[in-house]
Amino acid sequence: MEERRMPPVTEVGMASLALIVAGGIYLAAHLPRSVPLTPAIVLLALSALLLAANLVSLTRVDDFAWARFFQVGRWALLAYAITAGLIEYAFLRNGLAGGPLLVVTLSLVVYALHVPMLIAFTVARYAEPEPS
């Protein structure tokens, strides 16, 4: 099997997830006191930008196994949506509200989208593309 040239989806995805984790650690370090949100918002925005760039770069790949990507991706998305929901519930249960809750929620959305995309990409990059 010939190795196809792929964009750095995994590397960009890991950088995006590192930014989300850094933002989460920053928020957690300040709770339950008042949290200055600017650094967490900047990290979230950069992570979301990397997610968007990853999706765009992936759509430009020729002869990609999109059927396999979506087959794997939808199940991974279900699993990560459940875990993100459980994490969100823990924050709600502990009384997080306002701006910090919004930043955490959006961070969990990026997490719940990017990890399944990475899983699906990892499988689909080695699958045979569908005939045109």
Q: What is the mean pLDDT of each run of 10 residues along the chain (132 residues)?
A: 80 96 92 89 97 95 91 97 96 91 96 96 90 70
For residue 96, give every residue at least 6 positions away whose Cβ sits within 8 Å of its Cβ, in sequence order, or none: 31, 104
The pair of three-digit structure tokens given for residue 40, joined into one six-digit string: 């967490």
Report the distance separating Cα 37 and Cα 4, nearest Å: 42
Which pLDDT score is estimated for 60?
A: 93
Which pLDDT score is estimated for 2?
A: 60
Report the distance separating Cα 64 and Cα 120, nearest Å: 12
Which pLDDT score is estimated for 3?
A: 67
**Domain positions in the chain:** 9-124
Report the distance separating Cα 39 and Cα 65, nearest Å: 38
